[in-house]
Amino acid sequence: MPDWFWYGTVFCYGAMVGSFCNVLIYRLPLGISVVAPPSHCPRCRTYLGIWDNIPLLSFLFLRARCRYCRAPISWRYFLVELLSASLWVCVFHRLSGDTGISWVGVVAQALFASLLIAVIFIDLDHFLIPDELNWAGAALAAGRDLLCLALARQAGNGYWSDALREFTYGGWLPRFLVGAVVYGGLLFAISFFTFLYYARGENEPLAQTARRFWVEEEEEEGPAATEEAETEEEEAEPVRLRFSPAFLALVSALLLAPVLRAWAAALVLALALAFVALSRRPGEPPAATLGRFFRADEGDAAGGNPDAEINAAEADQFAREAETGRHGGMGLGDAKLAVAIERDIAHTTPVGSPAEEAGAAQRRAPVFPFGPVEAV
C-alpha cells in the first residue's frame, strides 16, 4: 500500500478515538457512564444517529448545529477530533517501523496522546484529573512494555537483547515500574510539601495541615461563611485558561507539518474560512466572525449544557480559592498522572535490527503528491 493510504488510515483512527475523547471530556467529570445512554444532544436530549456521529464530517455536514433542535455545536468537539487525528499521524510518522514491536509502540503512544487530550480539557474545565484516566494510562504503559518484551522474546536473540536494554534495568527490573515509583513519588512529594507551605492557616499546627491533605473537611456553616460566599460572588471572574479554535487549529497544523509541509498552513486557513461560513450570526460582519475564531470562549463546550455549566461554576469557585493557596501548590491528580506519563513517553526509537530501523527511517520520509516529506 502507498504511504498516503497508511497516513490516511491512521488519521481516521485518530479522529474516531478523538470522538470518544469528547465523550470522556463531557461525561467523566459529571459521573455519567461513557457507554450509556447513547450519544445525544445536550440541549434537546435526542439520541444521535450514525450519520450524526461521523468524526469531523458530521460536524461540517450539519453546519455546526444539531440536526434536531438546531442548537449550535461547540467547535471544540470538532477540534478535539482533529487534534487527536493529527497526534496519531505525528506519532506514526515518527515511530512507525516494519515489525510488530514498532506497531505496538505506535498504537500505545497514539492512544496515550489521545488520553492526554481528555486529561487536559477535563483539567481546564473542572480542575481535576479523573482516576480512571490515570489508571488507564498506567495500564497502557505497563501493557506496552510487557507486550513488546513478549514479541521480542519470540522474535529472537537480536530483538530480545535490544528490548531488554530498552524496557528493563539490568535485564530483569521493569523500567515502567521504576519510573512510576520515582516520578510519581517525586510529584507526590511536591504536592504534599507545597500544600503544607501554601494551605497552612495562621497558627495552625503542621500536623493538622497534613491531616487536611488527606481528609477533605466540611465547609464551615454560619454567618461568617455566608458573608464570605457573598463577597466571592461579587468578585470578578477568576482567570481561567481556555483554548481558542485558532490555537487548536494551529497546534493540529504544526503536528501535521512534517507530513503536509506547506499545506499545513492551508489547513489553518481552511478552518478559519469554515468557522466564518458555519458560525456567522445573523447580521454579523465576516470580520467579526473571524475575530471570534481567535477568542478563547468560542472553544468552550459548556454553553447550553446545564450540568456542565453547574460544574463550570464550581470550577470558578475552585479557581478563586486556589488564588488564596487554599488547595496548595499542586493537585494530587498530577502525581497520579505522573505514574503513567514517565514510561508512556520514554520509548521514542524503534526497537530491533538495523533493517527495521532503516524501514522506520524510510517510513518517516514518505513521498506524497505534494512533494517529498522531510523526516523530523
Domain count, the chain: 1
Average pLDDT over residues 239-262: 91
pTM: 0.83
Q: With contact defined as beta carbons under 8 Å apart, do 248 and 74 qualify?
A: no
* pLDDT of the residue at 237: 66
Burial class (CB in 10 A: 0-12, 13-18, 19+), 375: middle
Quick one: pLDDT band at residue 106, thresholds 50, 70, 90? very high
Quick one: pLDDT band at residue 302, thresholds 50, 70, 90? low
- Whether residue 238 is predicted with pLDDT greater than 80 in this model: the reply is no
* pLDDT of the residue at 37: 86
Render pLDDT for 63-99 as a digit per residue (tens, 0 to 9). 999 999 998 999 999 999 999 999 999 999 998 887 7
* pLDDT of the residue at 62: 93
CA distance 244 to 59: 18
- Whether residue 358 is predicted with pLDDT greater than 60 in this model: the reply is no
Residue owning grid cell 491533605: 213
Q: Looking at this protein, which amino acid is placed at residue 304? A: G
Average pLDDT over residues 114-136: 91
* pLDDT of the residue at 201: 83
Q: With contact defined as beta carbons under 8 Å apart, do 73 and 46 qualify?
A: no
Quick one: pLDDT band at residue 25, thresholds 50, 70, 90? very high
User: Per mean pLDDT, which range of 146-160, 285-299, 339-353 is the poorest?
Assistant: 339-353
* pLDDT of the residue at 235: 56
> 79 to each of 19, 60, 194, 247, 361, how far by Cα in Å?
10, 12, 35, 10, 30
CA distance 240 to 126: 10
> How many CA atoms lie within 13 Å of 161's alpha carbon, on the beta-carbon side?
3
Please provide the average confidence, as pLDDT, over all residues in the chain.
Answer: 82
The DSSP line for 147-162 is HHHHHHHHH-HHHHHH
Return the percent helix, strand and coil in the chain, to nearest 5.
65, 5, 30
Other CB atoms within 10 A of residue 123 CB: 20
* pLDDT of the residue at 331: 78
- Residue 37 belongs to what domain range? 3-372
> 327 to each of 65, 214, 216, 233, 330, how far by Cα in Å?
39, 12, 11, 19, 8
- Whether residue 3 is predicted with pLDDT greater than 90 in this model: the reply is no
User: Per mean pLDDT, which range of 112-116, 166-170, 182-186, 235-239 is the poorest?
Assistant: 235-239
- Whether residue 346 is predicted with pLDDT greater than 70 in this model: the reply is no
Q: With contact defined as beta carbons under 8 Å apart, do 25 and 116 qualify?
A: no
CA distance 207 to 197: 12
User: Per mean pLDDT, which range of 102-111, 191-200, 248-257, 305-314 is the poorest?
Assistant: 305-314
- Whether residue 219 is predicted with pLDDT greater than 80 in this model: the reply is no
- Whether residue 179 is predicted with pLDDT greater than 90 in this model: the reply is no
Q: Looking at this protein, which amino acid is placed at residue 292? A: R
Render pLDDT for 138-174 as a digit per residue (tens, 0 to 9). 899 889 889 988 999 888 877 888 888 888 888 888 8
Query: In the chain, what is the greatest distance between 2 CA atoms, to the nearest angstrom?
Result: 74
* pLDDT of the residue at 217: 58
